[in-house]
Chains A and B, each alone.
Chain A
């Protein structure tokens, strides 16, 4: 087997439909609800709440598969060691542990999808998470995947847990709370390894944090995630702190999200002006 498996070669059965991330986010059934062109908190009162929650659940499910695949590849792709292009033994052990956790998350997500009335393939799969997991530097993998994308997973699970509570769905609330605990662990792994492996290498740390910023920005697309109460997915400050984020780092993500929202609004205003003229 090769070291590094390109994203095109990710193995899937015939139910899965792969699309670019922008198409995935433009699905009118998604939680950002591009059809209604509104930003709204995910609550049972939203007229499209069922579709939005199911879409988010499906997105979580395919994200879990890719998180599993990415952690598995980090066990295989690198020789064991402390060199720049190697992965330390203890890091590989963490990734193996993450494999088990993500496999459980897949199991939970399949059962929850069934519970919520959707099935594999009803929504599409974007592969950005796995792409971030293909970075040739293990530190960048850990910042891009564990800190940025699994940090987003913390926000999403927290949102889904609150949604389960508000909708009177104890099964959803229960499962999301358990997955949230695991994700805090994974994000903390990312924070700890970033600090450990770049302690004497400021350039590498700078690159890793820059990579994280790019990923964070991409997943704040269209104001999908933000700090105010009306964001479809709310930034979960408390859990991010548990996962090793400093206040300044959380402020920065909030700013990135806010900027993405402003850009999305500007685009919408420009489109509306065009249409009116």
Chain B
């Protein structure tokens, strides 16, 4: 047996986590507030749509996914005070009016023959953008100081990937004609343009700034 008094390093040999991260406490809280806002809009509309879709399999998947996004909203709600944001409603806001316009357009369809439009909005536009913003955050925050956010991002991402696959497969099974392919593509383009104007679910910088190679124009690199 190894000598229990022999000194060992604090980090296991396979642990490559680093201290620096791209986000200050305030910047992280701001993003988390935007995440809570968009997760709430997501679970509310999925719940509302359940009664409006006649396809039984879609109905049941939407019901299941409603909970996933509510749980994400709860994770972000609980993270806010840990980021010194004691008023959990102050940052529970959209990043800009353009994102509100996107959400309004995405949640607009109601009629029972608009299942393709409903699913395209969530599964071909919103969820891919959530995956992108969460992945950017995950890859740029400090894996040591911001480990609780990392853990929540990983849980949320696991659901987002699974739900995206469910939604995409539902769409593929619903789309049966070239006209329906066009319908889905038109809807996607309409909503993508709105989300482009918003800059992503967390506003400009949702997935960093490729031109400068910087994570976010508003945040400063923090070094230990």
* List of A residues within 8 angstroms of B56 by Cβ: 13, 106, 120
Closest B residue, CB atoms, query A70: B51
Report whether A11 and B52 are in contact in the complex, using a CB–CB cutoff of 8 Å: yes
Closest B residue, CB atoms, query A68: B63
Report whether A72 and B66 are in contact in the complex, using a CB–CB cutoff of 8 Å: yes
A214 is an interface residue with CB less than 8 A from chain B: no
Question: B131 to chain A: closest CB distance in Å?
Answer: 20
Interface size on A, residues (CB 8 A): 34
Q: Contacts A96-B67, A99-B64 hold; do A71 and B109 have CB atoms under 8 A apart?
A: no
Report whether A1 and B48 are in contact in the complex, using a CB–CB cutoff of 8 Å: yes
Question: B202 to chain A: closest CB distance in Å?
Answer: 20
Interface residue SS majority, chain A: helix
Closest B residue, CB atoms, query A1: B110
Q: Contacts A93-B74, A96-B70, A97-B70 hold; do A5 and B64 have CB atoms under 8 A apart?
A: no
Binds B, one of A75-83, A157-165, A192-200, A220-228: A75-83
Q: Contacts A73-B47, A106-B60 hold; do A9 and B52 have CB atoms under 8 A apart?
A: yes
Report whether A76 and B73 are in contact in the complex, using a CB–CB cutoff of 8 Å: no
Interface residue SS majority, chain B: helix
Report whether A102 and B63 are in contact in the complex, using a CB–CB cutoff of 8 Å: yes
* List of A residues within 8 angstroms of B127 by Cβ: none
Question: B118 to chain A: closest CB distance in Å?
Answer: 9
Report whether A99 and B47 are in contact in the complex, using a CB–CB cutoff of 8 Å: yes
* A100, B45: Cα distance in complex, Å: 15
Question: B169 to chain A: closest CB distance in Å?
Answer: 17
Contact pattern, A 1-41, Cβ under 8 Å of B = 1, otherwise 0: 11001000111110000000000000000000000000000
Closest B residue, CB atoms, query A89: B77
Closest B residue, CB atoms, query A106: B60
B166 is an interface residue with CB less than 8 A from chain A: no
* List of A residues within 8 angstroms of B71 by Cβ: 93, 96
* A96, B45: Cα distance in complex, Å: 11
* A248, B55: Cα distance in complex, Å: 43
* A2, B110: Cα distance in complex, Å: 7
Q: List B residues 112-134 near A (Cβ within 8 Å).
A: 112
A118 is an interface residue with CB less than 8 A from chain B: no
The listed residue with most B CB atoms (<10 A of its CB), out of A2, A10, A11, is A11
* List of A residues within 8 angstroms of B40 by Cβ: 80, 92
| CB within 8 Å: A-B pair count | 108
The listed residue with most B CB atoms (<10 A of its CB), out of A68, A89, A96, A104, is A96
Report whether B66 and A1 are in contact in the complex, using a CB–CB cutoff of 8 Å: no
Interface size on B, residues (CB 8 A): 35
* A248, B107: Cα distance in complex, Å: 45
Report whether B70 and A92 are in contact in the complex, using a CB–CB cutoff of 8 Å: yes
Question: B117 to chain A: closest CB distance in Å?
Answer: 11
Report whether B47 and A1 are in contact in the complex, using a CB–CB cutoff of 8 Å: no
A243 is an interface residue with CB less than 8 A from chain B: no
B46 is an interface residue with CB less than 8 A from chain A: yes
The listed residue with most A CB atoms (<10 A of its CB), out of B44, B56, B68, is B44
* A48, B23: Cα distance in complex, Å: 68
Report whether B44 and A76 are in contact in the complex, using a CB–CB cutoff of 8 Å: yes
Report whether B109 and A99 are in contact in the complex, using a CB–CB cutoff of 8 Å: no
Report whether A1 and B108 are in contact in the complex, using a CB–CB cutoff of 8 Å: yes
Q: A9-B52, A72-B62 are in contact. List 18 more A-B contacts (CB 8 A).
A: A5-B110, A11-B53, A12-B54, A13-B54, A69-B50, A71-B47, A72-B51, A73-B47, A74-B47, A75-B70, A76-B45, A93-B70, A95-B47, A99-B50, A99-B66, A100-B63, A103-B60, A120-B56
A residues contacting B by CB (< 8 A) are: 1-2, 5, 9-13, 65, 68-69, 71-77, 80, 89, 92-93, 95-97, 99-100, 102-104, 106-107, 120, 130
Ordered by A's residue number, 18 sampled pairs between the chains whose C-beta atoms are within 8 Å are A5-B48, A5-B52, A11-B112, A72-B49, A72-B63, A73-B47, A73-B48, A73-B50, A75-B48, A92-B43, A93-B73, A96-B67, A99-B47, A103-B61, A103-B63, A106-B56, A106-B60, A130-B51
